[in-house]
A and B are shown apart, each in its own frame.
Chain A
């Protein structure tokens, strides 16, 4: 112990400036040992205290000494030296304009890629949850492995059981996103809101900026309706007026009392503009798995303990209601849930940018070495003229700082701009909680990169030179040629590495591009061209009656069909690309066992003309005709998709006439299959289809659905030209009917592919950067070699070598580097592109076309890069070179 302490003290005082240490080091140590020995005689504790104080003394004093010593050397002219160093640096750069530009370009691209990805990762992963103590926030949901569902949503009575019978949570709440129609009599606006249980603000740690939060009484069934406004909405719609508390906001035809205003951070989840209480009934009879849960863990509680606690609380529910253990609670960190859709993208981006950074490092390292070797003479002369080592290091650092600062500022700007472009191309796919801003963290990150580059770029050549001069002093005879051979090898390795890294990125970018291209040619199973879609939602107070609701929808369809240019119009409860409504069914003669696996079925209510409007093809049977189900004694008709037929009746020929019913309903509500449609890519081109059914509109008669309903219109000519006519048709029916997401099917499809497109663009730009770097690396190393071997080439030519042979010699060298790089890079690419995983659709990670293309691109650009140095070599004039003094 004592030995360790003594050694620690020695190590610390060795950090003093050399002059002080040489002069007084021994005495200092002796004095310390004297005191320490005296203290040890008094006991172990006094000895330790003495050591701690001595260490503290050294730690405080040493920086001061360095400061003073440095001051003694540069006090007289530090500012002057800095200025002259700067001037010298700029002069030397402007003399080698091309080389400097190349270095700055390289660094700028590397910095841009890194700041860009840093911004994305920062926005997506580092700060996705803008609440107090986010680490203790968790996301709650339920899962149903038997139904093949990772997330079922939470059933309100389950939540009540959890809230009442768990001990791991400080607070727990439910939330769900819903669209609300806010009307003022003349027009209606559809806005994003959330329904929450009263304890959500407490769980998230939110206090209102104005008014009050929800109380338990607000959250009872049939309580007086109240609303809290989002901060942004309060400003845009009420000018931030402080007297709005107590006023009413008409939502869906009902006046809601405004009780509070949420802080800016509470636009959770996503971009919501208002919160209303859920008003759930703990005794609700039906099951409705649709809410999300959020909770705050008590201090010290782990995720595992929380999950065990929830499972224990679920136990009574399994005993009483869910005896088959279909659903069970699950819990995960809130931040993980928020960024769940982005984890593959984040990994790919992170690794991709790492490869870019490595490529840039290899490139800069090469440039550095070449530059250092060219400047050896200059430095030797300056040393001979009396410049101190310190002065030369300073000069190198100043130069590096200039380069790094220029590259840092340009690169940070470029990265920021690139990400902005990217986000624009994402469109409304960007989740509302992502705020990509030029912030302090980004600035710090840029600064850090500049600092690292400065040190690498400035110190490495300085050390290189110092080693060099020491070797000179020792006087090894043949050091010149051996060093340059060593340098050559290092340069070769760096270029090979650049090629290999570029190959990895080219392959990854190529695979994504192929996957995207394939997706664009996937048959969605429904019509894209000439189709327009939009949704509306009914104010519940006016159309409480299901029959009235159905009639209104049918009237809307009739009005739409009457618009000139429209060939047909249809209504559907759940349009493709961005909607899901699942129910469970039983089928007569199904191969599925009762109580076993029973996948959830996508359920849609559609008007008879919907199939024709969307160009959905029937493989068996037909669509229902208007009103057929309402005729006396008729069978209730139902259309299923191929997947549904495959699931329940695999191998059966015709399934027309087979019967289907809701799971758990009485058997007298059989519906009869009258048609089978081709599977459509309802969840997006890359997603598999679920089993699905279509029900006729009269299903609405028995339910006041209050839900959003979609309409599709097929027309000849430009679909966007129909927009005004569609708006007018709806307004003429009821001015308070909101029009939600009026867009062409093509736009909807593009939006669903935006994420993939972005990933492809990002990786393609990474690949482009790496390609530029690798090409410039090949160019640089060959130029260097040609420059070094000018004499040798001259001699060869004097001895009769042809210019063609000289060109070939240089090009072959380039080809060798590229070849080795590819031999190493392509197998690594094959391994690493596996992480693209789910992003690759319709293409394997071993896609030959992509690899051949990457090889060709690198080969051709490598050869082009080799040509210029080769021609320079061929233009060497033997007589000039041989008569040059050496």
Chain B
């Protein structure tokens, strides 16, 4: 799973968002490290919708209709998307555990 996909799913796992909100959230999540530029962002969203991991909502959530994001396309993570994200996180956990064990055993004492 690419970094873009992972963070988009992670962002949508918290709540439904529209494109520019996802961009801002990912920027915050990665401490300004990952900036999703427009074409990449929407291209990935399009890919993920075809994959069935997210879906575009027919309308904006009622509380947002009149707000700034009212005319935008909102996205929601699907059950399949949550499962994919969970698998990825589990795999990461495995890597993190292994890495920590190795760091303990092979590190030179300073």
Contacts and interface: CB of A to CB of B under 8 A. Distances in A.
Interface in B18-49: 18-20, 23, 37-43, 45-47
Contacts of A64: 43
Contact of B43 (A27, A34, A65): A65
Contacts of B39: 13, 16, 28, 54, 57-58, 61-62
Nearest to B35: A53
B46 A24 contact: yes
B41 to A, nearest CB: 7
A31 B46 contact: no
Contacts of B40: 57, 60-61
B23 to A, nearest CB: 7
B67 to A, nearest CB: 15
Nearest to B56: A23
Given A57-B37, A72-B50, A31 B23 contact: yes
Contact of A24 (B23, B37, B73): B73
B72 interface: yes
Nearest to A16: B39
Interface in A16-67: 16, 19-20, 23-24, 27-32, 34-35, 53-54, 57-58, 60-62, 64-65
A20 B37 contact: no
Given A27-B72, A32-B38, A61 B19 contact: no
Contacts of A31: 19-20, 23, 38, 41
A209 interface: no
Contacts of B43: 16, 20, 61, 64-65
Nearest to A59: B39
Contacts of B23: 31
Interface of chain A: mostly helix, strand, loop or mixed: helix
B20 A34 contact: yes
Contact of B42 (A20, A34, A35): A20
A50 to B, nearest CB: 9
A68 interface: yes
Contact of A54 (B37, B46, B50, B73): B37
Interface in B42-96: 42-43, 45-47, 50, 72-73
A668 B46 CA distance: 103
Given A57-B37, A61-B39, A61-B40, A24 B50 contact: no
Nearest to B73: A27
Contacts of A24: 19, 42, 45-46, 73
B73 to A, nearest CB: 6
Contacts of B50: 68, 72
Which of B18, B40, B45: most chain A Cβ within 10 A?
Answer: B40
Interface residues of B, number: 17
A62 B39 CA distance: 8
A65 B46 contact: yes
A242 B43 CA distance: 64
A35 B36 CA distance: 11
Nearest to A68: B47
A57 B23 CA distance: 14
Contacts of B41: 28, 31
Nearest to B46: A20
Contacts of A65: 43, 46
A368 to B, nearest CB: 38
Contacts of B47: 68
A23 to B, nearest CB: 7
A28 B46 contact: no
A54 B42 contact: no
A730 to B, nearest CB: 83
B70 to A, nearest CB: 13
A862 B18 CA distance: 71
Interface string B1-23: 00000000000000000111001
Contacts of A68: 47, 50
Given A24-B19, A31-B20, A53 B37 contact: yes
Nearest to A72: B50
A57 B38 contact: yes
Nearest to B45: A24
A566 to B, nearest CB: 90
Contacts of B19: 24, 27-28, 31
Contacts of B73: 23-24, 27
A382 B38 CA distance: 41
A19 to B, nearest CB: 8
Contacts of B46: 19-20, 23-24, 65
Contacts of A28: 19, 38-39, 41-42
A27 B42 contact: yes
A32 B38 CA distance: 6
Nearest to A64: B43
Nearest to A33: B38
A16 B19 CA distance: 18
Nearest to A65: B43
A34 B36 CA distance: 13
Which of B38, B41, B50: most chain A Cβ within 10 A?
Answer: B38
A20 B72 CA distance: 15
A57 B37 CA distance: 6
Interface in A337-391: none
A35 B37 CA distance: 9
A65 to B, nearest CB: 5
A790 to B, nearest CB: 53
A27 B41 CA distance: 11
Interface string A832-865: 0000000000000000000000000000000000
A13 B19 CA distance: 16
Which of A30, A32, A57: most chain B Cβ within 10 A?
Answer: A57
Contacts of A20: 42-43, 46
Nearest to B47: A68
B99 to A, nearest CB: 31
A72 B46 CA distance: 12
A436 to B, nearest CB: 49
Nearest to A27: B19
A16 B38 CA distance: 12
Which of B20, B39, B47: most chain A Cβ within 10 A?
Answer: B39
Nearest to B37: A57
A719 B61 CA distance: 106
A64 B41 CA distance: 13
A16 B72 CA distance: 20
Nearest to B44: A61
B40 to A, nearest CB: 5
A58 B18 CA distance: 20
A482 to B, nearest CB: 44
Nearest to A12: B39
A704 B76 CA distance: 102
Contacts of A27: 18-20, 38, 42, 72-73
Nearest to A56: B37
Interface string A262-304: 0000000000000000000000000000000000000000000
Contacts of A16: 39, 43
Contacts of A57: 37-40
Contacts of A32: 38
A266 to B, nearest CB: 54
A19 B49 CA distance: 13
A141 to B, nearest CB: 60
Contacts of A54: 37-39
Contacts of B38: 13, 27-29, 31-32, 35, 54, 57-58
Contacts of A19: 46
Nearest to A54: B37
A65 B49 CA distance: 13
Given A20-B42, A27-B19, A31-B19, 9 more contacts: A16-B43, A20-B43, A23-B46, A24-B73, A27-B38, A28-B38, A57-B37, A60-B40, A65-B43
Query: Which 5 A-B residue pairings sit nearest by Cβ, starting from the closest?
Result: A57-B37, A24-B42, A28-B38, A58-B39, A61-B39
Interface of B: 18-20, 23, 37-43, 45-47, 50, 72-73
7 contacts: A23-B42, A24-B42, A24-B73, A31-B38, A35-B38, A60-B40, A62-B39
